Amino acid sequence: MTVIVGQDTNKTRKTLKVGGSSIAYYSIPAASAAGLGDFSKLPASLKVVLENLLRFEDGGFSVSTDDIKAFAEWATLGGKNPREIAYRPARVLMQDFTGVPAVVDLAAMRDGIKALGGDAQKINPLNPVDLVIDHSVMIDEFGNPRAFQMNVDREYERNMERYEFLKWGQSAFQNFRVVPPGTGICHQVNLEYLAQTVWTDKDQDGVEVAYPDTLVGTDSHTTMVNGMAVLGWGVGGIEAEAAMLGQPISMLIPEVVGFKLTGKMLEGTTGTDLVLKVVEMLREHGVVGKFVEFYGEGLDNLPLAQRATIANMAPEYGATCGFFPIDDETLRYLHQTGRDADRIALVEAYAKENGFWRGADYAPVYSSTLELDMDTIVPAISGPKRPQDYLALDIAAPAFAKFVEGQRSGKDVSEKAKVTWEAEGGAPVPADVPGDIGHHNKGWYKTDDGAYQLHDGSIVIASITSCTNTSNPYVLIAAGLVARKAHALGLNRKPWVKTSLAPGSQVVTEYLNAADLTKDLDAVGFNLVGYGCTTCIGNSGPLEAPISKAINDYDLIATSVLSGNRNFEGRISPDVRANYLASPPLVVAYSLVGDMNVDITKESLGKGKDGQDVYLKDIWPTDAEVAELVEKCVTREAFMSKYADVFKGDEKWQAVEVNGGETYAWPAQSTYIQNPPYFQGMAAEKGVISDIEGAKVLAILGDMVTTDHISPAGSFKESTPAGKYLTERQVAPREFNSYGSRRGNHEVMMRGTFANIRIKNEMLDNVEGGYTKGPDGAQTSIYDASMAYQEAGTPLVIFAGEQYGAGSSRDWAAKGTALLGVKAVIAESFERIHRSNLVGMGVIPFEFTNGDSRKSLGLTGDETVSIAELAGDLKPQSTVPCTITFADGTTKVIDLKCRIDTAPEIEYVENGGVLHYVLRNLAKSA
């Protein structure tokens, strides 16, 4: 490889010649030579942001010389210099649940700009946008060879309106591509195909330039691609739309936490075991709003697929991203996955020349550090409610028993379950709560092949799902080998366990077939059900009716085990109360035993075909067995073959019709796609931020309320406001689909906001679900209360605890909040993406100060709230007074920190939201 460096008239733009080709790039060493500062000790992740500023320093892109110098100061100040900067990612990644409402907004903006006298063609992505349809397939059919095709057919039946709309978007907008259904999960497709590590394109001067591949995505797990040194993170659809329309992302130079990995994984442990420990450690360390960068000699022993699993779960440990610098393993993975040889040569040359390469001497400055010896990793799972609830496998069973005890505490066995059980001939349930708590609630169910007993801890879902782990061939091959050994010994899944295999790309099927493991997975019930997110996002599909009935009749604490990244309450299935994250081979093992009360490290998984006890050690593959099959079957040719026609799709996709031209012809009767109200009747000039006066409380929520709790997600019933809306429009319950699939219809989504079945509004006693007090003080749905308050012209606020808005980057958590008439959310702290999304929708986030909280103030929801000093010259992060008037007429004034963090965000709120701001500016420029 020949590398020649030259320089042109720009002080930091130089020329890199790789082989026989030349390309420009913006040089960080040249910036140092020009006197802008010493950047040699910056972490690679921060150098990516620095390069971005160097590239946009000239030409009116809101980047100053002082912004660049601030990075040198960051290093000298010990990794802290929270200066506001304008960052421009190279591209945008979307999935269909978040992508459909984003395209709906773009279509509505075309209508809006025409109403303001502007040009509809101004509404076009300026940066490349890829939307991968991966969130729509549900597991209706499972455990048989017909499952995949039947689920695909059902997916098209449910989602044809959405697919027609997306095809229109692909034809109407520039720089917008759609990856059809059945291809894979967006993050895995990004990792295996779309991402390039070093991107090339023309810069603002028309010069072909090489620069770090960067992106934002409308899914929080966009962070996965940081495993191959591509800086990316999740944003709400609102922020992504602004970014694709040319708006910079306003951010503070982040702290970077260095996570040193040493040692090597021990025999019998997996990358999943490692990442669950990393999540626990980083949550405890505290990394919200920070970059995490992994370094240390342990990376030499960590394949990129396992790095990607760690990077994928950055939202679970709370960081903006989890970054791995470019090294030899990055180049090996680029080659294995079919990237062009010239691109790989460019990646190596660029990284070494511009200071992005992780060599033996890589020793940057970090804001703080922590360290993990991979020799200490043991098999583990996490649950039952949060990814950071780490459990070494040998204590999982007693920990579950303790969880059940906590759930039953104070009420023993539920009276309904006790009466039903005894009425059907069960042994009397004791009134007290002795040691065998895990088996107190029991229930029979019957199927065609017999009668079975369920109890607290029965595993009813075992799913190999999610890009988090299906991108890692080591754990997928291991799962296949566990299935092979179990089947050979005569074990099978328990009859009550719904099993599924939903890989993140078609390459997985290719190498499982090549390894001859597909038939073994099929034999124990892990048939292919589709290529998509499925169980990980709550699309687990319905349980068999007798099982669901038994769980609900007997009030059982049913469990799920999945290889995903999220296990929040109410996410996986409405019938399941405890959810555990595990490696794919452990998912298979748990399906064989079917009971979370069993200690699978010591107890038998079941009887084999010869009547012998079979233990986990009998079916667990060696590392050598796994490595041999990975080396043999995971090939460059497989990746190149499966991604050759990635945008073409199958015959079903090709048959989807495209209707509409420059603007979309909104179908009046559609229950999937509706023109949102955001831009209708919008004035040409922006408004002002007003004080909040006489607001009532819509909800008081606790700690760690996630966007899964806030945003409509999963399935819903006829009795819900959304169900009633659809029923009134002659949509049968079987056709309800999911909230996620109806994100293009604001009428459905606003009815499902704060309607999660497990959300707890502290205004009500012992009530779960989307309920509150209406204006008359009576219990009602949050939607109905909101409509009543809005009709009366009464503004609304929400109070909450710590880490409000954790989890997925669901833009509807903010959109729904705004449409429900909420003007402010007052919490102890916010997660990064949701805070930004609230601002993007014109809802102001506030944080308590001086030790105040909803609890210390004794809030009940009967208060009236006024927030002053917002009108006029409001500055970012100002402290403002809030007057709380209690039901007895007494008042208390507290200070709140306004979490409008930057000057551009002030303008967004003045305009009513970031999209309104962009739309007005585009209309004026026309």
State the CB neighbour count (10 A cutoff) for residue 714.
20
pLDDT at 447: 64
Lowest mean pLDDT segment, chosen from 263-267, 411-415, 444-448, 699-703: 411-415
Q: Which residue has the higher pLDDT, 84 or 267?
A: 267
Token output for 647: 């945008």
Q: What angle do CA 195, 198, 202 make, to 5 degrees?
A: 105
* Residues in the chain, total: 926
pLDDT at 451: 78
Residue with the two structure tokens 């979309």: 664
Residue 643 one-letter amino acid: Y
pLDDT at 807: 74
- Please determine, for residue 430, whether its predicted confidence score (pLDDT) is greater than 50: no
Q: Where are the domains of the chain?
A: 380-634, 692-711+753-925
- Please determine, for residue 837, whether its predicted confidence score (pLDDT) is greater than 60: yes
State how far the Cα of 924 lies from the Cα of 182, in Å rounded to an integer: 42
* Residue 715 binned pLDDT confidence (cut-offs 50, 70, 90): confident
Integer distance in angstroms from the first to the last C-alpha of the chain?
48
Residue with the two structure tokens 């007798």: 546
State how far the Cα of 40 lies from the Cα of 514, in Å rounded to an integer: 46
* Sign of the alpha-carbon torsion through 284, 285, 286, 292: negative
- pLDDT tens for each residue of 70-110: 999 999 999 999 998 999 999 999 998 888 888 999 999 99
- Please determine, for residue 414, whether its predicted confidence score (pLDDT) is greater than 60: no
Cis status, amide bond into 546, omega within 30 of 0:
no
pLDDT at 202: 86
pLDDT at 286: 95
State how far the Cα of 472 lies from the Cα of 637, in Å rounded to an integer: 17
pLDDT at 58: 64
- pLDDT tens for each residue of 841-886: 999 999 999 999 999 999 999 999 999 999 988 999 999 999 999 9
Query: Would 380-634 and 692-711+753-925 be classified into the same CATH topology?
Result: no
- Please determine, for residue 9, whether its predicted confidence score (pLDDT) is greater than 60: no
Calculate mean pLDDT across residues 741-769.
93
* H helix count then E strand count, the chain: 32, 35
pLDDT at 787: 97
Phi, psi (rounded to 5 degrees) for 504: -85, -5
Task: Name the residue among 572, 529, 576, 530 with its Cα closest to residue 552.
Answer: 576
State how far the Cα of 913 lies from the Cα of 743, in Å rounded to an integer: 19
- Please determine, for residue 818, whether its predicted confidence score (pLDDT) is greater than 70: yes
Answer yes or no: are the C-beta atoms of 93 and 232 closer than 8 Å.
Answer: yes
Calculate mean pLDDT across residues 10-21.
89
Tell me whether residue 119 is exposed, middle or buried, using C-beta atoms within 10 angstroms of its C-beta: 0 to 12, 13 to 18, 19 or more. middle
Query: Which whole-number Å values give the CA distances from 169 to 161, 652, 672, in the listed order?
Result: 13, 18, 15
Phi, psi (rounded to 5 degrees) for 24: -80, 155
- pLDDT tens for each residue of 125-152: 989 999 999 988 889 999 999 999 999 9
Tell me whether residue 335 is exposed, middle or buried, using C-beta atoms within 10 angstroms of its C-beta: 0 to 12, 13 to 18, 19 or more. middle
- Please determine, for residue 370, whether its predicted confidence score (pLDDT) is greater than 70: yes
Alpha-carbon radius of gyration of the chain? 27
pLDDT at 51: 97
Q: Which residue has the higher pLDDT, 749 or 427?
A: 749
State how far the Cα of 717 lies from the Cα of 705, in Å rounded to an integer: 22
Calculate mean pLDDT across residues 882-911.
95
Could you give the angle at which helices 237-244 and 96-115 cross, rounded to 10 degrees?
Answer: 60
pLDDT at 409: 65
Provide the 3-class DSSP secondary structure of residue 299.
Answer: helix
| Torsion region of 325: left, alpha or beta (phi above 0 gives left; psi -120 to 50 gives alpha) | beta
* DSSP per residue, 596-642: TTS-TTTS--EE-TTS-EE-HHHHPPPHHHHHHHHHHHS-HHHHHHH
Q: Which helix (H) or strand (E) holds 79?
A: none
Task: Name the residue among 283, 363, 350, 356 with its Cα closest to residue 315.
Answer: 283
CATH architecture observed for domain 380-634: 2-Layer Sandwich (3.30)
Phi, psi (rounded to 5 degrees) for 90: -75, -30
State the CB neighbour count (10 A cutoff) for residue 90.
20
- Please determine, for residue 599, whether its predicted confidence score (pLDDT) is greater than 80: yes
SS (H, E, C) 388-403: CCEEEHHHHHHHHHHH
Lowest mean pLDDT segment, chosen from 83-97, 629-643, 773-787: 83-97
* Residue 239 binned pLDDT confidence (cut-offs 50, 70, 90): confident
- pLDDT tens for each residue of 538-561: 889 899 998 999 898 888 999 999
Answer yes or no: are the C-beta atoms of 189 and 141 closer than 8 Å.
Answer: no
- pLDDT tens for each residue of 30-50: 999 999 999 999 999 999 999
Residue with the two structure tokens 């799972």: 381
Lowest mean pLDDT segment, chosen from 354-363, 565-574, 612-621: 565-574
Q: Which residue has the higher pLDDT, 539 or 839?
A: 839
Answer yes or no: are the C-beta atoms of 475 and 508 closer than 8 Å.
Answer: no
pLDDT at 624: 97
* DSSP per residue, 771-812: EEE-TTS-EEEHHHHHHHHHHTT--EEEE--SSBTBSS--TH
* Residue 745 binned pLDDT confidence (cut-offs 50, 70, 90): very high
pLDDT at 872: 86
Calculate mean pLDDT across residues 520-540.
92
* Sign of the alpha-carbon torsion through 111, 113, 118, 122: negative
- pLDDT tens for each residue of 462-507: 999 999 999 999 999 999 999 999 999 999 999 999 999 999 999 9
Phi, psi (rounded to 5 degrees) for 833: -65, -45
pLDDT at 448: 67
Token output for 179: 């990856």
* Half-sphere exposure (Cβ direction) of 447: Cα atoms closer than 13 Å: 15
Residue with the two structure tokens 């109360």: 577
Provide the 3-class DSSP secondary structure of residue 917.
Answer: helix
Look up the CATH number of domain 692-711+753-925.
Answer: 3.20.19.10
- Please determine, for residue 11, whether its predicted confidence score (pLDDT) is greater than 90: no
State how far the Cα of 378 lies from the Cα of 374, in Å rounded to an integer: 9
Token output for 843: 């809802």
pLDDT at 538: 83
Provide the 3-class DSSP secondary structure of residue 868.
Answer: coil
pLDDT at 432: 39
User: Mean pLDDT, the chain, as a whole number?
Assistant: 91
* DSSP per residue, 317-332: HT-SEEE--B-HHHHH
